[in-house]
Chain A
């Protein structure tokens, strides 16, 4: 293991490896990624892989649009097929409140340059005949949204970073971060000590704990979130389909499995990774009502991962106040995978050149939680 590094990234998920990748292609040498388990073992490997630009907050729309451009060129740039499909995201509205929200969102999103439109019930029925539209009022649809395989994307960033000279240490846990007079001096791991002046916290579900290693207080909390997947079927779903009021999302993977999940308001903050029967029961009762073909489809697997929630359900991408060169890219609140490319790019610029340059991270600072919190609404 190396004894010193220019930057130590803690967390080998999509965010950590994307940051490492962008650091190395911008010429940064001696970059280290520490992963306490294996690559994609945390939230990345457990997420649904959706890539969406339809958000209620303009800054999120911009960040997601920038990410989509990176996903579009991913194969060419990194030489890896990550099963990226732009089948669109269909947001179903079931009541007037949602209809109003979507109409306002679409207006704002269009201003940001996003190709997005409101579909009438008839249009939904015509384009997606497998949906029972009885209770659907309308929908918002963006054709350039989509999904990809998170593991493959995670592996691709890690391999590219490694090829460019980064060290990726899996099964290596960060135990402590030494800070002297506000300056980082090194990271203690269970496999040795690494001298460094720069640390990036990309620890996903464990961001708060990794913050405390350097005495930085990050207001995030982790919640269990569950996903189920069916047996593989021939291709049927193009878009990722999502509803906030009915509380679900669903997509079909390239290998044919239908993947779906929901939020659970009763979850308390925890590191619980165990799936529950209650989740499976609720989903099985709910989903075939809207998608009758699901009734006879078998569930193959389900699992749980952690949503690392910030108080406003938006990511925290910032540099700490009291510890210099302590960066964090955390609190993604369930949307880290889709935002990782743009965040990786911006944070790499910030570390190397002192500012995120073209990537607008201005609304995502640690200091925003002091006043009134404006919450992202488009969240399952």
Chain B
């Protein structure tokens, strides 16, 4: 949707097209993209509801430092989606609160 095809300076070489699931929705992405970037390309910026004040938050730093992009990926919470590459068939969920482990 918002992926750049032509750019005056850069040539983007994208990987294989894959699909993953976000909140039950099928989303296509390219290998080599981070989860947060792939979601952003689909217009999805709201990645988690903060544990304390239940605020909508998205990524901020995009280099894995600021903790605001933590999501549940394949059942594992607190995944830094801005530095984790998207994989075919991944199940990604908006994280609400602190991580929950199926003990």
Contacts and interface: CB of A to CB of B under 8 A. Distances in A.
B99 A231 contact: yes
Contacts of B76: 296
B101 A293 contact: yes
A233 B51 contact: no
Given A233-B77, A296-B76, A256 B98 contact: yes
Contacts of B103: 129-130, 236, 293
A235 B97 CA distance: 11
Nearest to A237: B103
A236 B98 CA distance: 11
A256 B70 CA distance: 15
Contact of B98 (A129, A232, A293, A296): A232
A297 B98 contact: no
Number of contact residues on A: which range applies? Answer: 10 to 19
A97 interface: no
A129 B101 CA distance: 13
Contacts of A256: 51, 98
A26 interface: no
A3 interface: no
B18 to A, nearest CB: 23
B56 to A, nearest CB: 19
A236 to B, nearest CB: 6
Interface string A273-314: 000000000000000000001001110000000000000000
Interface in A106-160: 129-130
Contacts of A297: 99, 101
A293 B76 CA distance: 10
Nearest to B100: A234
A232 B51 contact: yes
Interface residues of B, number: 11
Nearest to B96: A234
A233 B102 CA distance: 11
Contact of B99 (A129, A130, A233): A233
A256 B103 CA distance: 15
Contacts of B100: 233-234
B78 interface: yes
A232 B70 CA distance: 12
A231 B100 CA distance: 11
B98 A234 contact: yes
B91 to A, nearest CB: 15
B73 to A, nearest CB: 11
Contacts of B98: 231-234, 256
A234 B97 contact: yes
User: Which residue of A129, A233, A256 has the most chain B CB atoms within 10 A of its CB atom?
Assistant: A233
Interface in A241-261: 256
Interface in B63-103: 76-78, 97-103
A379 to B, nearest CB: 28
B12 to A, nearest CB: 32
Contact of A236 (B51, B78, B97, B101): B101
Nearest to A235: B98
A251 to B, nearest CB: 15
Contacts of A232: 51, 98-99
A130 B103 CA distance: 5
User: Which residue of B76, B99, B102 has the most chain A CB atoms within 10 A of its CB atom?
Assistant: B99
Nearest to B99: A233
A296 B103 CA distance: 12
A168 to B, nearest CB: 30
A220 to B, nearest CB: 39
Contact of B78 (A129, A130, A231, A293): A231
Contacts of A296: 76, 101
Contacts of A234: 97-100
A232 B51 CA distance: 10
A195 to B, nearest CB: 49
Contacts of B78: 231, 233, 298
A232 B101 CA distance: 11
A284 B99 CA distance: 19
Nearest to A295: B101
18 contacts: A129-B103, A130-B103, A231-B98, A232-B98, A233-B78, A233-B98, A233-B99, A233-B101, A234-B98, A234-B99, A234-B100, A236-B101, A236-B103, A293-B101, A293-B103, A297-B99, A297-B101, A298-B78
Give the 9 A-B CB pairs with smallest separation, nearest first: A130-B103, A293-B101, A234-B100, A232-B98, A256-B98, A234-B98, A233-B99, A293-B103, A233-B98
